[in-house]
Amino acid sequence: MIRHRASVPVPPGVKSEPGPPMTLGDAPAARVRLIVWCKACQHQVEPDPTEMAARYGVETPVLDWRTRLTCSRYGSRQVDMVVSGTKRR
C-alpha cells in the first residue's frame, strides 16, 4: 500500500537535513544567479559564478564565500547576498 505524503517528498536516505550546501562549483550547473549588494552604499553586483568558482574554489560553499565578500568600493563588510534561481517554471 502506497501512502502519499502531503507536501514534501523526501528522497530515501534523507531525513531532516536541508540538503548539501550549494558550492560555488554547483552554482553554474544549477543555473543560479548570485546577487551581491553592499548595505552601506547600495552597490550591487552579479558576480559570474564560474569566475567565482575559479577564484575561490569549486568546493567553497556559497555561504562561506559570502562571508569573505567585501564591498569593492569601500571595503565594507556590510555585504549581503542572495542566490536567485533562474530555473523557475
- How far is 18 from 12, CA to CA, in rounded Å? 14
Which residues lie near Zn ion (CB under 5 A)?
Answer: 38, 40-41, 43, 71, 73-74, 76
Residue among 53 and 79 whose Cβ is closer to Zn ion: 79
- Contact 39/78 with Cβ under 8 angstroms? yes
Return the closest-CA partner of residue 83 out of 25, 18, 36, 39: 36
Residue among 40 and 81 whose Cβ is closer to Zn ion: 40
Smallest separation (angstroms) from Zn ion to the CB of 74: 5
Residue among 28 and 43 whose Cβ is closer to Zn ion: 43
